[in-house]
Structure 1
Amino acid sequence: MRRKISAAAVGIGIAAASILATGGSATGHGYTESPISRQKLCANGTVQNCGQIQWEPQSVEGPKGFPNGGPADGAICSGGNGQFAQLDDPRGGKWPTTKLTSGADHTFNWRFTAAHATTDWRYYVTKDGYDPSQKVTRANLELTPFLTVPYNGKRPPFTFSHTGKLPSGKSGHHVIVAVWTIADTGNAFYACSDVQF
Protein backbone atom coordinates (compact mmCIF):
# COMPACT_ATOMS: atom_id res chain seq x y z
CA MET A 1 0.00 0.00 0.00
CA ARG A 2 2.80 2.41 0.92
CA ARG A 3 4.47 1.81 -2.50
CA LYS A 4 1.24 2.63 -4.36
CA ILE A 5 0.76 5.89 -2.41
CA SER A 6 4.41 6.86 -2.98
CA ALA A 7 4.17 6.10 -6.70
CA ALA A 8 0.95 8.14 -6.94
CA ALA A 9 2.57 11.07 -5.09
CA VAL A 10 5.60 10.96 -7.41
CA GLY A 11 3.28 10.87 -10.44
CA ILE A 12 1.33 13.89 -9.20
CA GLY A 13 4.59 15.74 -8.48
CA ILE A 14 5.91 15.05 -11.99
CA ALA A 15 2.62 16.19 -13.54
CA ALA A 16 2.65 19.41 -11.50
CA ALA A 17 6.26 20.12 -12.47
CA SER A 18 5.42 19.54 -16.13
CA ILE A 19 2.52 22.00 -15.97
CA LEU A 20 4.73 24.61 -14.31
CA ALA A 21 7.55 24.09 -16.79
CA THR A 22 5.26 24.55 -19.78
CA GLY A 23 3.18 27.37 -18.37
CA GLY A 24 3.98 29.62 -21.34
CA SER A 25 3.47 33.34 -21.11
CA ALA A 26 1.82 33.21 -17.69
CA THR A 27 5.25 33.04 -16.06
CA GLY A 28 6.20 36.43 -17.57
CA HIS A 29 9.65 37.68 -18.35
CA GLY A 30 10.81 41.34 -18.34
CA TYR A 31 10.22 45.07 -17.84
CA THR A 32 12.06 48.38 -17.84
CA GLU A 33 13.42 49.90 -14.66
CA SER A 34 14.88 53.02 -16.29
CA PRO A 35 13.03 54.98 -17.30
CA ILE A 36 10.73 53.38 -14.75
CA SER A 37 7.79 51.62 -16.38
CA ARG A 38 4.16 51.73 -15.30
CA GLN A 39 4.31 48.07 -14.29
CA LYS A 40 7.35 48.70 -12.05
CA LEU A 41 5.60 51.70 -10.44
CA CYS A 42 2.72 49.34 -9.61
CA ALA A 43 5.00 46.56 -8.36
CA ASN A 44 6.96 48.81 -6.02
CA GLY A 45 3.78 50.38 -4.58
CA THR A 46 4.35 53.91 -5.91
CA VAL A 47 1.03 53.62 -7.80
CA GLN A 48 -1.92 51.91 -6.10
CA ASN A 49 -4.99 50.02 -7.41
CA CYS A 50 -3.08 48.35 -10.23
CA GLY A 51 -4.67 44.92 -10.04
CA GLN A 52 -2.71 41.79 -10.87
CA ILE A 53 0.26 43.56 -12.51
CA GLN A 54 1.57 44.55 -9.08
CA TRP A 55 2.59 40.91 -8.54
CA GLU A 56 3.89 40.18 -12.01
CA PRO A 57 5.37 43.30 -13.65
CA GLN A 58 7.38 41.05 -15.97
CA SER A 59 4.28 39.59 -17.66
CA VAL A 60 3.23 42.27 -20.17
CA GLU A 61 3.52 39.99 -23.18
CA GLY A 62 1.65 40.41 -26.44
CA PRO A 63 1.93 39.72 -30.15
CA LYS A 64 5.09 41.00 -31.80
CA GLY A 65 5.31 43.05 -34.99
CA PHE A 66 4.64 46.48 -33.51
CA PRO A 67 3.63 48.97 -34.89
CA ASN A 68 2.15 47.14 -37.91
CA GLY A 69 0.96 44.33 -35.63
CA GLY A 70 0.99 43.86 -31.90
CA PRO A 71 -1.59 45.01 -29.35
CA ALA A 72 -4.61 47.09 -30.38
CA ASP A 73 -4.65 50.86 -29.98
CA GLY A 74 -5.50 51.83 -26.42
CA ALA A 75 -4.15 48.48 -25.15
CA ILE A 76 -0.47 48.98 -26.04
CA CYS A 77 0.79 49.52 -22.48
CA SER A 78 -0.85 46.28 -21.31
CA GLY A 79 0.42 44.34 -24.34
CA GLY A 80 -3.24 43.67 -25.15
CA ASN A 81 -3.71 41.71 -21.90
CA GLY A 82 -7.10 42.55 -20.39
CA GLN A 83 -5.88 41.40 -16.96
CA PHE A 84 -3.38 44.28 -17.01
CA ALA A 85 -5.74 46.95 -18.37
CA GLN A 86 -4.81 49.28 -15.49
CA LEU A 87 -1.57 49.98 -17.40
CA ASP A 88 -3.59 51.46 -20.28
CA ASP A 89 -5.57 53.76 -17.97
CA PRO A 90 -3.98 57.23 -18.33
CA ARG A 91 -5.13 58.06 -14.77
CA GLY A 92 -5.99 61.58 -15.89
CA GLY A 93 -2.36 62.17 -16.90
CA LYS A 94 -1.21 61.54 -13.32
CA TRP A 95 1.27 58.68 -13.81
CA PRO A 96 4.56 59.63 -12.09
CA THR A 97 7.18 60.75 -14.59
CA THR A 98 10.94 60.34 -14.95
CA LYS A 99 12.77 63.56 -15.79
CA LEU A 100 14.80 63.24 -18.99
CA THR A 101 16.71 65.67 -21.21
CA SER A 102 15.63 65.72 -24.83
CA GLY A 103 18.45 64.73 -27.20
CA ALA A 104 20.68 63.44 -24.37
CA ASP A 105 22.11 59.95 -23.98
CA HIS A 106 20.13 57.70 -21.62
CA THR A 107 20.88 54.25 -20.22
CA PHE A 108 17.84 52.00 -20.53
CA ASN A 109 17.75 49.33 -17.82
CA TRP A 110 15.77 46.09 -18.07
CA ARG A 111 15.13 43.37 -15.50
CA PHE A 112 14.35 39.87 -16.77
CA THR A 113 12.93 36.84 -14.99
CA ALA A 114 13.44 34.66 -18.09
CA ALA A 115 16.15 35.42 -20.62
CA HIS A 116 14.63 34.79 -24.04
CA ALA A 117 16.46 34.68 -27.35
CA THR A 118 16.13 38.31 -28.45
CA THR A 119 15.68 39.94 -31.84
CA ASP A 120 15.93 43.52 -30.57
CA TRP A 121 14.65 46.29 -28.34
CA ARG A 122 12.81 49.23 -29.93
CA TYR A 123 11.79 52.49 -28.32
CA TYR A 124 8.95 54.72 -29.49
CA VAL A 125 7.81 58.08 -28.14
CA THR A 126 4.57 60.03 -28.29
CA LYS A 127 4.20 62.88 -30.76
CA ASP A 128 4.54 66.55 -29.89
CA GLY A 129 1.29 67.78 -28.37
CA TYR A 130 0.50 64.39 -26.78
CA ASP A 131 -2.28 64.63 -24.18
CA PRO A 132 -1.22 62.42 -21.23
CA SER A 133 -4.86 62.05 -20.16
CA GLN A 134 -5.45 59.91 -23.28
CA LYS A 135 -4.63 56.23 -23.83
CA VAL A 136 -1.56 55.46 -25.94
CA THR A 137 -2.46 54.72 -29.56
CA ARG A 138 -0.54 54.55 -32.83
CA ALA A 139 -2.09 57.90 -33.80
CA ASN A 140 -0.35 59.63 -30.88
CA LEU A 141 3.00 57.80 -31.30
CA GLU A 142 5.87 58.48 -33.64
CA LEU A 143 5.87 55.11 -35.41
CA THR A 144 9.57 55.12 -36.29
CA PRO A 145 11.56 54.03 -33.23
CA PHE A 146 14.00 56.64 -31.95
CA LEU A 147 16.29 53.80 -30.84
CA THR A 148 16.70 50.19 -32.01
CA VAL A 149 19.14 47.84 -30.28
CA PRO A 150 19.66 44.58 -32.25
CA TYR A 151 20.62 41.44 -30.30
CA ASN A 152 20.81 38.79 -33.04
CA GLY A 153 19.01 35.96 -31.22
CA LYS A 154 21.26 36.01 -28.13
CA ARG A 155 19.92 35.72 -24.59
CA PRO A 156 20.44 38.74 -22.33
CA PRO A 157 21.56 38.52 -18.69
CA PHE A 158 18.89 38.98 -16.02
CA THR A 159 19.75 42.65 -15.65
CA PHE A 160 20.66 44.37 -18.88
CA SER A 161 21.44 47.93 -19.93
CA HIS A 162 22.10 49.74 -23.17
CA THR A 163 22.65 53.42 -23.87
CA GLY A 164 21.13 55.44 -26.67
CA LYS A 165 20.15 58.96 -27.63
CA LEU A 166 16.73 60.25 -26.59
CA PRO A 167 14.60 62.01 -29.20
CA SER A 168 15.44 65.70 -29.69
CA GLY A 169 13.09 68.63 -29.57
CA LYS A 170 10.74 67.12 -26.99
CA SER A 171 9.25 68.92 -24.01
CA GLY A 172 6.56 68.17 -21.47
CA HIS A 173 4.90 64.87 -20.52
CA HIS A 174 5.42 62.04 -23.02
CA VAL A 175 5.24 58.25 -22.98
CA ILE A 176 8.09 56.02 -24.15
CA VAL A 177 6.91 52.61 -25.36
CA ALA A 178 9.66 49.99 -25.08
CA VAL A 179 9.21 46.78 -27.08
CA TRP A 180 11.42 43.74 -26.40
CA THR A 181 10.98 41.39 -29.39
CA ILE A 182 11.56 37.69 -28.78
CA ALA A 183 13.36 35.78 -31.54
CA ASP A 184 11.87 32.31 -31.16
CA THR A 185 8.20 32.98 -30.32
CA GLY A 186 5.43 35.09 -31.84
CA ASN A 187 5.50 37.51 -28.92
CA ALA A 188 7.13 40.64 -27.57
CA PHE A 189 7.11 42.36 -24.18
CA TYR A 190 5.80 45.91 -23.78
CA ALA A 191 6.60 48.58 -21.21
CA CYS A 192 5.28 52.15 -21.07
CA SER A 193 7.26 54.79 -19.21
CA ASP A 194 5.86 58.25 -18.49
CA VAL A 195 8.59 60.86 -18.86
CA GLN A 196 8.97 64.60 -18.51
CA PHE A 197 11.33 66.20 -21.01
Structure 2
Amino acid sequence: MSFSNVQSRPGQQPRHGQVFKPESRGQFCVDGVNAQCPLQSWHVNGLESGKFFPAAVGGLRDPLAPDDVANVAPPADGKIASAGQAFAAVLDEQSAERWHKHPVKPGQSLDFQWSYHAIHLTRRWNYFITKPDWNPNQPLSRAQFEAEPFHKVELTAQPYWSHNDALTPPDPTIHQVRLPERKGYHVVLAVWEVADTGNAFYQVIDFDFG
Protein backbone atom coordinates (compact mmCIF):
# COMPACT_ATOMS: atom_id res chain seq x y z
CA MET A 1 0.00 0.00 0.00
CA SER A 2 1.45 3.36 -0.95
CA PHE A 3 1.09 6.60 0.96
CA SER A 4 -1.29 7.96 -1.68
CA ASN A 5 -3.63 4.97 -1.42
CA VAL A 6 -4.21 5.24 2.31
CA GLN A 7 -7.79 6.16 3.07
CA SER A 8 -8.52 8.76 5.75
CA ARG A 9 -11.54 10.61 6.95
CA PRO A 10 -12.11 14.16 5.66
CA GLY A 11 -9.84 16.67 7.38
CA GLN A 12 -7.38 14.00 8.58
CA GLN A 13 -3.96 13.01 7.35
CA PRO A 14 -3.10 9.40 6.46
CA ARG A 15 -1.99 7.36 9.46
CA HIS A 16 0.57 4.62 9.51
CA GLY A 17 2.24 3.35 12.72
CA GLN A 18 4.05 4.12 15.93
CA VAL A 19 5.74 2.74 19.03
CA PHE A 20 3.14 3.02 21.78
CA LYS A 21 4.99 1.09 24.52
CA PRO A 22 7.33 2.25 25.89
CA GLU A 23 5.78 5.57 24.98
CA SER A 24 7.67 7.42 22.29
CA ARG A 25 8.53 11.08 22.58
CA GLY A 26 5.58 11.85 20.34
CA GLN A 27 3.15 9.68 22.29
CA PHE A 28 4.15 11.46 25.50
CA CYS A 29 3.27 14.69 23.68
CA VAL A 30 -0.19 13.32 22.83
CA ASP A 31 -0.62 12.18 26.45
CA GLY A 32 0.34 15.61 27.81
CA VAL A 33 3.40 14.22 29.62
CA ASN A 34 5.75 16.25 27.41
CA ALA A 35 4.91 19.91 27.85
CA GLN A 36 4.61 22.51 25.07
CA CYS A 37 4.31 19.80 22.44
CA PRO A 38 0.79 20.03 20.97
CA LEU A 39 0.70 16.93 18.78
CA GLN A 40 -2.23 14.68 17.94
CA SER A 41 -2.18 10.94 17.40
CA TRP A 42 -2.11 11.22 13.61
CA HIS A 43 1.07 13.31 13.81
CA VAL A 44 2.87 10.54 15.69
CA ASN A 45 1.63 7.85 13.31
CA GLY A 46 2.77 9.81 10.26
CA LEU A 47 6.49 10.33 10.98
CA GLU A 48 7.47 9.03 7.56
CA SER A 49 10.68 9.57 5.60
CA GLY A 50 13.16 7.59 3.53
CA LYS A 51 14.30 4.16 4.67
CA PHE A 52 17.84 2.82 5.23
CA PHE A 53 18.91 5.19 8.04
CA PRO A 54 21.73 6.11 8.65
CA ALA A 55 22.02 6.50 4.86
CA ALA A 56 21.57 10.13 3.83
CA VAL A 57 20.69 9.76 0.15
CA GLY A 58 17.86 8.24 -1.85
CA GLY A 59 17.86 5.78 -4.73
CA LEU A 60 19.38 2.90 -2.74
CA ARG A 61 18.31 -0.73 -3.06
CA ASP A 62 17.94 -3.18 -0.20
CA PRO A 63 20.89 -5.64 -0.18
CA LEU A 64 18.64 -8.33 1.31
CA ALA A 65 15.75 -7.78 -1.11
CA PRO A 66 16.90 -5.87 -4.22
CA ASP A 67 13.41 -6.03 -5.76
CA ASP A 68 12.01 -3.88 -2.96
CA VAL A 69 11.25 -0.27 -3.87
CA ALA A 70 14.37 1.92 -3.72
CA ASN A 71 14.52 4.41 -0.89
CA VAL A 72 13.83 8.11 -0.94
CA ALA A 73 16.21 10.30 1.04
CA PRO A 74 16.08 9.72 4.82
CA PRO A 75 15.63 12.71 7.15
CA ALA A 76 18.41 15.26 7.46
CA ASP A 77 20.48 15.59 10.63
CA GLY A 78 18.63 17.70 13.15
CA LYS A 79 15.27 16.47 11.81
CA ILE A 80 15.48 12.79 12.71
CA ALA A 81 12.91 12.79 15.51
CA SER A 82 10.32 14.47 13.28
CA ALA A 83 11.33 12.42 10.22
CA GLY A 84 11.61 15.80 8.51
CA GLN A 85 7.85 16.40 8.82
CA ALA A 86 7.12 20.08 9.42
CA PHE A 87 3.96 19.28 11.40
CA ALA A 88 6.12 17.50 14.00
CA ALA A 89 9.14 19.83 14.09
CA VAL A 90 8.72 20.31 17.84
CA LEU A 91 10.04 16.75 18.28
CA ASP A 92 13.44 17.90 17.01
CA GLU A 93 13.96 20.16 20.01
CA GLN A 94 16.79 18.58 21.96
CA SER A 95 18.33 19.19 25.35
CA ALA A 96 19.18 17.14 28.40
CA GLU A 97 16.02 18.30 30.18
CA ARG A 98 13.50 18.83 27.36
CA TRP A 99 11.78 15.42 27.32
CA HIS A 100 10.28 13.00 29.83
CA LYS A 101 12.38 9.83 30.13
CA HIS A 102 11.63 6.19 30.92
CA PRO A 103 13.73 4.87 33.82
CA VAL A 104 15.53 1.66 32.77
CA LYS A 105 18.55 -0.47 33.67
CA PRO A 106 21.50 -1.34 31.43
CA GLY A 107 20.92 -4.71 29.81
CA GLN A 108 17.22 -4.69 30.69
CA SER A 109 14.88 -6.67 28.46
CA LEU A 110 12.03 -4.48 27.25
CA ASP A 111 9.05 -5.06 24.97
CA PHE A 112 8.75 -2.50 22.17
CA GLN A 113 5.18 -2.49 20.89
CA TRP A 114 4.10 -1.06 17.54
CA SER A 115 0.53 -0.26 16.55
CA TYR A 116 -0.59 0.45 12.98
CA HIS A 117 -3.22 2.64 11.39
CA ALA A 118 -2.26 1.64 7.85
CA ILE A 119 -0.49 -1.64 7.27
CA HIS A 120 2.42 -1.72 4.84
CA LEU A 121 4.35 -4.72 3.58
CA THR A 122 7.35 -4.75 5.87
CA ARG A 123 11.02 -5.56 5.42
CA ARG A 124 12.46 -4.82 8.87
CA TRP A 125 12.53 -2.87 12.11
CA ASN A 126 15.86 -1.36 13.26
CA TYR A 127 16.66 -0.05 16.73
CA PHE A 128 19.53 2.42 17.12
CA ILE A 129 20.86 4.08 20.29
CA THR A 130 22.92 7.17 20.97
CA LYS A 131 26.65 6.69 21.52
CA PRO A 132 28.04 6.56 25.08
CA ASP A 133 29.65 10.01 24.62
CA TRP A 134 26.77 11.71 22.77
CA ASN A 135 25.86 15.29 23.63
CA PRO A 136 22.19 15.52 24.68
CA ASN A 137 22.26 19.28 24.24
CA GLN A 138 22.96 19.03 20.51
CA PRO A 139 20.42 18.17 17.78
CA LEU A 140 19.99 14.48 17.00
CA SER A 141 22.28 13.60 14.13
CA ARG A 142 23.82 10.53 12.57
CA ALA A 143 27.02 11.27 14.45
CA GLN A 144 25.08 11.06 17.74
CA PHE A 145 23.85 7.51 17.03
CA GLU A 146 25.68 4.22 16.71
CA ALA A 147 25.99 3.39 13.01
CA GLU A 148 24.58 -0.13 13.43
CA PRO A 149 21.30 -1.06 15.11
CA PHE A 150 21.64 -2.84 18.45
CA HIS A 151 18.51 -4.84 17.58
CA LYS A 152 17.05 -5.80 14.20
CA VAL A 153 14.04 -7.83 13.10
CA GLU A 154 13.88 -8.75 9.40
CA LEU A 155 11.27 -10.42 7.22
CA THR A 156 13.05 -12.25 4.43
CA ALA A 157 10.28 -13.30 2.01
CA GLN A 158 10.69 -11.85 -1.49
CA PRO A 159 9.69 -10.54 -3.92
CA TYR A 160 7.34 -8.47 -1.82
CA TRP A 161 4.44 -8.59 -4.31
CA SER A 162 4.18 -12.38 -3.92
CA HIS A 163 4.26 -12.51 -0.12
CA ASN A 164 1.52 -10.30 1.30
CA ASP A 165 0.83 -12.60 4.24
CA ALA A 166 4.48 -13.15 5.16
CA LEU A 167 5.31 -9.43 5.04
CA THR A 168 2.19 -8.11 6.79
CA PRO A 169 3.11 -7.47 10.43
CA PRO A 170 0.82 -8.48 13.28
CA ASP A 171 -0.96 -5.61 15.01
CA PRO A 172 0.36 -5.02 17.56
CA THR A 173 3.91 -6.03 16.72
CA ILE A 174 5.93 -6.80 19.85
CA HIS A 175 9.73 -7.07 19.89
CA GLN A 176 11.56 -8.20 23.01
CA VAL A 177 14.67 -6.03 22.99
CA ARG A 178 17.67 -6.14 25.33
CA LEU A 179 18.90 -2.61 25.98
CA PRO A 180 22.65 -1.93 25.63
CA GLU A 181 24.96 -0.93 28.44
CA ARG A 182 24.54 2.78 28.98
CA LYS A 183 24.51 5.38 31.77
CA GLY A 184 22.26 8.37 32.10
CA TYR A 185 20.14 9.88 29.34
CA HIS A 186 20.04 8.17 25.95
CA VAL A 187 17.72 8.10 22.95
CA VAL A 188 16.57 5.02 21.08
CA LEU A 189 15.56 5.49 17.44
CA ALA A 190 13.16 2.81 16.19
CA VAL A 191 12.69 2.63 12.42
CA TRP A 192 10.03 0.54 10.64
CA GLU A 193 11.13 -0.03 7.03
CA VAL A 194 8.59 -0.73 4.30
CA ALA A 195 9.20 -3.12 1.39
CA ASP A 196 6.71 -1.75 -1.14
CA THR A 197 7.51 1.97 -0.83
CA GLY A 198 10.72 3.95 -0.43
CA ASN A 199 9.79 4.98 3.10
CA ALA A 200 10.15 4.15 6.75
CA PHE A 201 8.53 5.39 9.96
CA TYR A 202 10.66 7.02 12.65
CA GLN A 203 10.07 6.92 16.41
CA VAL A 204 12.36 8.20 19.17
CA ILE A 205 12.07 7.06 22.77
CA ASP A 206 13.87 8.80 25.64
CA PHE A 207 15.45 6.70 28.41
CA ASP A 208 17.28 7.35 31.68
CA PHE A 209 19.67 4.47 32.42
CA GLY A 210 20.17 4.10 36.17
**Shorter-chain TM band:** 0.7 to 0.9
Corresponding residue of 1:97 = 101
More strand by share: 1
Q: RMSD over aligned Cα, in angstroms? A: 2.3
Deviations 1:99-151 (A, max 9, x none): 12212222111111112111110000001122322221011111110000113
How many angstroms apart in 2 are the aligned matches of 1:51 and 1:144? Answer: 32
Does the CA-based 8 Å contact 1:118-1:156 persist in structure 2? Answer: yes
How many angstroms apart in 1 are the aligned matches of 2:33 and 2:198? Answer: 32
Does the CA-based 8 Å contact 1:64-1:186 persist in structure 2? Answer: yes
Residue type of the partner of 1:101?
A: K
CA pair 181-19 structure 1, distance change in 2 beyond 3 A: closer
Q: In structure 1, the residue corresponding to 2:147 is in which secondary structure? A: strand
Q: Report deviation, 1:61.
A: 0.5
Does the CA-based 8 Å contact 1:109-1:161 persist in structure 2? Answer: yes
- Unaligned stretches of 5+ residues in structure 1: 1-17
How many angstroms apart in 2 are the aligned matches of 1:102 and 1:108? Answer: 16
Matched, 1:164 2:177: yes
State the TM-score, normalizing by the size of structure 1: 0.82
Matched pairs, number: 178
Residue type of the partner of 2:201?
A: F
Does the CA-based 8 Å contact 1:43-1:56 persist in structure 2? Answer: no
Corresponding residue of 1:183 = 195
State the TM-score, normalizing by the size of structure 2: 0.77
- Unaligned stretches of 5+ residues in structure 2: 57-73, 161-166
More helix by share: 1
Tell me whether 151-160 or 30-39 shows the greater mean CA deviation: 151-160
Matched, 1:21 2:15: no
Residue type of the partner of 1:166?
A: L
Corresponding residue of 2:70 = none
Matched, 1:58 2:45: yes
Corresponding residue of 1:36 = 23
Corresponding residue of 1:48 = 35
CA pair 143-38 structure 1, distance change in 2 beyond 3 A: same
Does the CA-based 8 Å contact 2:18-2:116 persist in structure 1? Answer: yes
Corresponding residue of 2:150 = 146
How many angstroms apart in 2 are the aligned matches of 1:143 and 1:19? Answer: 33
Residue type of the partner of 2:32?
A: G
Q: Report deviation, 1:165.
A: 1.7
CA pair 55-109 structure 1, distance change in 2 beyond 3 A: same
Q: Report deviation, 1:55.
A: 4.7
Corresponding residue of 1:111 = 115
Q: Report deviation, 1:158.
A: 2.6
Q: In structure 1, the residue corresponding to 2:29 is in which secondary structure? A: helix
How many angstroms apart in 2 are the aligned matches of 1:144 and 1:19? Answer: 32
